[in-house]
Amino acid sequence: MKRSSVAAAALFCLLAGGKVGADDTFPNIRFDFLADARVTLSDGEPSWFRDWLGKGRYGGTHWAGNDIEQLRLAEFSVLANAEISWDINAFVHAKFDAEQDKALDLVEAYLEYKPAPRSAISYSARLGLMFPHISRENVGAAWTSPYTITPSAINSWVGEEVRALALEGKLKYRAGAHSLSLTGAIFGFNDPAGTLLAFRGWALNDYKVGAFSRLPLADLPSIGTGSDFLAKQPLWVHPINEVDGRPGYYAALDWGYGQHLKAGAFYYDNRGDPEVIKRQQYAWDTRFWNFYVEADPLPGMKLISQYMVGNTKMGRESAGGLYPVDADFDAVFVLLSQSFERNRVSVRYDWFATDDNTFVKEDNNNEWGHAWTVALSREFGKRDQLILEYLRLDSWRPARKTIGYGADQAQTIIQLSYRLRF
């Protein structure tokens, strides 16, 4: 068994060896399981997951772009919640996914300290491997979205590359219907974040990379073993990796009015040294802002919008101040969702782009695109959900020409997902 599988299995067994129950003794451990069975129909260029530049998790066949129909187990997640004391909890999320680099891998594992508030001011802390609180969509079990199968381009990238081994603290103040919270963290093990945005660009998929897994890169002339431009960049990235030994940080400010209106800003800087390379991975210097607004304007209605803007760079800076890769990126989405008792209808529009600042003739990382997502869902009980989703992607990326595709590509992906929690 591979090292990552052994680690994940050992952690699972360690938790399973504890007491399982719901009484007043500690630790109390509760296990939840999520299975996602999926039928997909996809066309267009092959997926980036198959070493190409397609924008979806699934795509068409190589060159022909024919439709592909498949029945698959998209995910099987194990969620362990352990009450260690009244104030301390542990959370572990392990995932089995036959498509990922390591079939069994660890998604999150952290301790949380959250004492009961005794005044208008409350505080909490987390320590371990975690998603920063960026996504406003992925609020379901196992970091899924209750609105669609596929999250936005912004939150798809968060699931792929933004994970950190962090020490995070949060302070919250309530005054009547208003609340204000400040979050700050120092973190490591996220130095390669930005690699996918530069060499692949944005994508829309519901993939959550495991801690020990790699993600593929297309065989572009500018990277790989035969490249003169970036010969040391392999055709894969390991996002959860410490390269330069320098901690990064993130901070967030969130405001809420009751349960009906929320807004906030989040800043991330991994403080990567772009000249350092270890274990075939560069420490990308990646920083970004994320802004959001979330509202419930009518009963059963949810309106969410996020905007992300940032920059990523890597490699040794030249005498002229140029880096081998230096790209600005931004994306925005608006999601409108309406529930009707057990049924829900969701519509989302995405726009995304990357702007290459250096060596465009040798390595063109410019891109722009947009996508429409429509999803219909039905809850049959408290723990099972059926979602039908239509996703239409249109994008322009000149780098496609270097591997035999046109710069402009369109793709349609239809998915039917049955999620079961038990």
pLDDT of residue 120: 95
Weakest mean pLDDT among 107-121, 145-159, 179-193, 214-228: 214-228
Give the pLDDT mean for 43-55.
Answer: 92
Residue 271 CB-density burial (10 A; 0-12 exposed, 13-18 middle, 19+ buried): middle
**Does the pLDDT value for residue 7 go beyond 80?**
no
Task: Give the residue from 34, 29, 36, 111 showing the smallest Cα distance to 78.
Answer: 34
Structural contact between residues 384 and 420, judged by C-beta atoms closer than 8 angstroms = yes
pLDDT of residue 24: 62
Return the exposure string of 181-191: e unless at least 16 CB atoms fall within 10 Å of the residue's CB, then b: bebebebbbbb
pLDDT digit string, tens, across residues 272-299? 999 999 999 999 999 999 999 999 999 9
Sign of the Cα torsion 203, 205, 209, 214 reads: negative
Q: Count of CB atoms within 10 A of residue 316's CB?
A: 11
Sign of the Cα torsion 14, 139, 206, 242 reads: negative
Weakest mean pLDDT among 34-48, 66-80, 118-132: 66-80
**Does the pLDDT value for residue 236 go beyond 90?**
yes
Q: Count of CB atoms within 10 A of residue 259's CB?
A: 8
Mean pLDDT of the chain: 91
Q: Which two tokens stand for residue 42?
A: 């996809």
pLDDT of residue 199: 96
Q: Which two tokens stand for residue 377?
A: 């869902």
**Does the pLDDT value for residue 381 go beyond 90?**
no
One-character DSSP codes across 357-382: -S-TTTS---EEEEEEEEEEEEESSS
Reported confidence tier of residue 64, pLDDT bands at 50, 70, 90: low
pLDDT of residue 259: 86
In 258-405, the DSSP E strands lie at 261-269, 277-278, 281-282, 285-295, 301-314, 325-340, 343-356, 367-379, 384-396
Three-state DSSP state, 231: coil
